[in-house]
Amino acid sequence: MKRSVAILLMTCMLLASLPPRSVRADIAPPDFPSGANPVPEGESTQVRMLAETVTLELLTAASPYAPISPAMARTTAVFSMQNMGEAAETMWVRFPLTYWTYQGDPRIGDVEVRDLTVKVDGKPALTKRVMEPDPRNLDSEMPWAAFQVTFQPGKPVEISVSYQSDATGELSYAVFRYTLETGAGWKDTIGSVDMVVRLPYAANEQNIVFDGWTGFGEPTPGAVFNGNEAHWHFENIEPQFQDNFMVILLTPASWKVVLLERENTTKNPQDGEAWGRLGKDIKAVIFLRKGVRSDPGGLALYQEAVQAYEKSLSLLPNDSLWHFGYAELLWNQWFWNVHWTDPTDVSILVPALQHLQTALKIDPNNQRAKDLLDFTSYTVPEYVGRTESGEVDLLVLTATPEHFTLTPWPSETPVPTNTPIPS
């Protein structure tokens, strides 16, 4: 069962009376500021957030903090507010510019959102940068953008906030977060929440990742895809920490090479190199820090990579590197997604070792193939052994190895019986 990793999802101010919750998991790198619901001034208000629509648009341009930040996005949040009381309220509404108790990356220091613009009922609002106490650490301060709004009784007010932010991530993954829980500072529940993620190409479960093993926590489920967009919708929520939004995307740089090689193989179906590159590029986007994607989109990509390598090797049967590339794909799929659940299932391991063996027959100096073979012999010696002379012995290809079943630990203390002990 996949574990749930509690991650500090963003940069917003909780009311001082709210208790602190779990923070960033130790396996995730430092976060960049992303987005949050605005916070009202004071401890109580009669102003309710009737609805909000947050649109996060992934940009193709590189982040100014690359390669530390793998991507950046433009976020626009539109809030429909209404004073449910009988008296007008004028207040300073605040928006966080960075994380509370933010632990900046020492290579770049603390990072704030950029190009912040605020409008109230369609008119630009004057914002000021203020230093206010950090709700997670009252002994320190953090920067906020504050803007003044007057809420008349029964009159709707529209607030829009737009800004640019950078992603957390590594390898092929970009992670964006949006904190909803600060909406709990307004009166009653939030009537409705619509989260929209817009990509520069068709959005689907292959390039929007729903595998929690990426190391950043569990992404928000329930997306509905429509063209270049993914939508999430929530009704009447009193948001808490677990309601905060997180989306994991493949970076534009990594996904565009997959799209390019798909196009190349369509135009040139007899190009074995193009098929090999497609398998290699897909392999790159399904590899995790420790594992291989096992969500539905990841599994579909794995099958596509298998077919791409098969096609490549049917056209280039004597290419040592493509045999190695295919073996690496199969080995990682078996080791991470099969071995730990059923180590006796070698249906993927056998062809992995066969392609590895072929790669070394074609080119005995293929160092990457030799390194992978050494790793397999160290990891699963029951399948890949060593002879007395030190040569690798692919046992799984020649014999069925023995498997030992551990005796289960007793679940309860056995109850004594009156059966006499035999003499």
For 351-382, how does the pLDDT look when each residue is reduced to its tens digit (9 = 90+)? 999 999 999 999 999 999 999 999 999 899 99
Query: What is the model's pLDDT at position 107?
Result: 53
Q: What distance in Å separates the CA atoms of residue 283 and residue 328, rounded to the nearest whole number?
A: 9
Residue 310 confidence (pLDDT)? 98
What integer is the mean pLDDT of 24-53? Answer: 71
Lowest-pLDDT choice from 38-42, 111-115, 191-195, 297-301: 38-42
Query: pLDDT digit string (tens) for 106-148?
Result: 455 567 889 999 999 999 999 999 887 766 666 778 788 899 9
Residue 267 pLDDT > 70: yes
163 φ/ψ angles, rounded to the nearest 5 degrees: -165, 170
Look at the block and give the residue holding tokens 């035999």. Answer: 422
Rounded to two decimals, the pTM is: 0.81
pLDDT of residue 414: 41
Count of Cβ atoms closer than 10 Å to residue 298 Cβ: 24
Residues 57-69 have pLDDT tens digits of 999 998 888 888 8
Confidence of residue 94 (pLDDT cuts 50, 70, 90): confident
Instruction: Report how far residue 76's alpha carbon sits from residue 194's, in angstroms, rounded to the nearest whole number.
Output: 12
Compute the average pLDDT of residues 22-50: 65
Arithmetic mean of pLDDT, 396-421? 44
Q: What is the mean pLDDT of the chain?
A: 83
Q: Quick one: what percent of the chain has pLDDT higher than 70?
A: 81
- Give me the pLDDT at residue 360, please: 95
Which residue has tokens 């003044």? 148
| CA torsion angle 249 28 16 110 (round to 10) | -90
Q: Rounded distance, CA 331 to CA 371, Å?
A: 13
Question: Which pLDDT tens digit goes with each residue over 140-189?
Answer: 787 888 999 999 999 999 999 999 999 988 889 999 988 888 888 899 99
Please check the confidence at residue 38 and state whether its pLDDT lies above 60: yes
pLDDT band at 398 (very low <50, low <70, confident <90, very high): confident
pLDDT at 331: 96
- Model confidence at 33, pLDDT cuts 50, 70, 90, reads low
Q: What are phi and psi of 197, to 5 degrees?
A: -115, 120
